[in-house]
Amino acid sequence: MIRIPFNEIKQEFKRILLKLSFPENKAECCAGIFADNSLDGVYSHGLNRFPAFVEYVKKGIIDVKAEPELVQRNGLVEIWDGHSGPGMYNATLCMKHAIELAKTNGIGCVALFRNNHWMRGGTYGWQAANSGCIGICFTNAGAGMAPWGGTQPRLGNNPLVIAVPGKDGPVVLDMALSQYSYGKMQEYQMVNKRLPFPGGYDEAGRLTTNPEVIRQTNRALPIGLWKGSGLALLLDMVLTAITGGKSTAKITAEKIEASVTQCFLCLYQENFHPELIEEIIAYTKTSKPTEPGDEITYPGERTMKRRAENLRDGIPVNEEIWKEVKRM
């Protein structure tokens, strides 16, 4: 494992995207997000995912020239067509519009269909909270979980993000609705490790901690068993109801996870009571740890620590993948 400075990684990504005919602004945005994801320790959606992203561009699944388009306005709800452009660029733009709506009206919602994968959902949560907004966003995905009581995957693991501005930085929850995201399972598999808790089912329908097996069966375990199953279903319904875009059913039928649907919801007011958010954090941390000496952390807290470390020491990278990217 070697460490590479943030700027070097970002510039490398940008060089490649420009070579792939990305316009300057899109190359800057997407390279920045991939580099930020690795910087924050979300390696599965940073450097490690970059080669697959490039493949999608080369295959024409991601249209680098496409611009998202506002196709319908229902009061303060805007519906945008992503026209299969780069997912993170479109998502960033839509969250920006949701923030603007919220700053003017207290609340705003932008829903985006025909978009590519937004990579790490947390990106847009940080974006909202860094602008002083509460941000709620979610996406659908191809089927990777069986509905509760069923044996075949029919639900996306549809990540849900909730971000709240805080005194010492945002609190950002970014979670797939499977116990482990597929990206996280890939990380475990890359280092030949088992999952700490059962994360899905094997071919025989038994729970397993083997990430490779779960990635083959496509049967991740929903958080809370029937509850995560229900939540994944409802998020897909909300996205589809608002936009008329592709549901998990249709995304799955196309065999390739493109043209997903996302929603960006923001709230804004002058005073979000940061002192009360501090109080909640302080109270939560008073719970006696399971392991003496451990600390209870809130979502986003470790991310900020890792960001500072990786900025200082460089981002740890998988050498194989880094070499592959350098050759692109």
Active site residue 45: yes
d(CA 99, CA 85): 21
Give yes or no for residue 106 binding a copy of itself (CB under 8 A).
Answer: yes
Is 76 or 328 the residue whose CB approaches a copy of itself more closely? 76
Give yes or no for residue 248 binding a copy of itself (CB under 8 A).
Answer: yes
Give the pair of three-digit tokens for residue 265.
Answer: 């919801």
Q: Which of 39, 62, 233, 260 binds a copy of itself (CB under 8 A)?
A: 233
Is 38 or 181 the residue whose CB approaches a copy of itself more closely? 181
Q: Is 122 exposed, middle or buried (0-12, 13-18, 19+ CB in 10 A)?
A: buried
**Residue from 283, 284, 294, 251 nearest 113 by CA:** 251
Q: Is 95 exposed, middle or buried (0-12, 13-18, 19+ CB in 10 A)?
A: buried
Is 214 or 233 the residue whose CB approaches a copy of itself more closely? 233
d(CA 247, CA 231): 14
Q: Which of 3, 104, 216, 326 binds a copy of itself (CB under 8 A)?
A: 104
Q: Which of 116, 123, 240, 259 binds a copy of itself (CB under 8 A)?
A: 240
CB neighbours (10 Å) of residue 248? 29
Is 3 or 167 the residue whose CB approaches a copy of itself more closely? 167
Pairing of the two strands 77-81 and 107-115: parallel
Give the pair of three-digit tokens for residue 324.
Answer: 């592959």
Q: How far is the CB of 215 from a copy of itself (least distance, A)?
A: 19
CA 281-195-148 angle, 5° bins: 85
CA 37-112-51 angle, 5° bins: 35
Question: Exactly one of 45, 97, 117, 273 is catalytic; which is it?
Answer: 45
Q: How far is the CB of 36 from a copy of itself (least distance, A)?
A: 20
User: What does R_g of the chain's alpha carbons equal in angstroms?
Assistant: 19
Q: Which of 190, 207, 249, 321 binds a copy of itself (CB under 8 A)?
A: 249
Is 64 or 95 the residue whose CB approaches a copy of itself more closely? 95
Give yes or no for residue 109 binding a copy of itself (CB under 8 A).
Answer: yes
Q: How far is the CB of 139 from a copy of itself (least distance, A)?
A: 15
Q: Under rule CB under 8 A, which residues in 6-25 are in contact with a copy of itself?
A: none
Give yes or no for residue 296 binding a copy of itself (CB under 8 A).
Answer: yes
Distance (Å) of CA 314 to CA 35, 123, 324: 11, 20, 19
Q: Under rule CB under 8 A, which residues in 129-188 are in contact with a copy of itself?
A: 134, 136, 146-155, 160, 162, 164-165, 171, 173, 175, 177, 179
Q: Under rule CB under 8 A, which residues in 25-44 are in contact with a copy of itself?
A: none
Q: Which of 235, 315, 317, 325 binds a copy of itself (CB under 8 A)?
A: 235
Distance (Å) of CA 160 to CA 120, 124, 246, 312: 11, 11, 18, 30
Give yes or no for residue 70 binding a copy of itself (CB under 8 A).
Answer: no
Which residues belong to the active site? 45
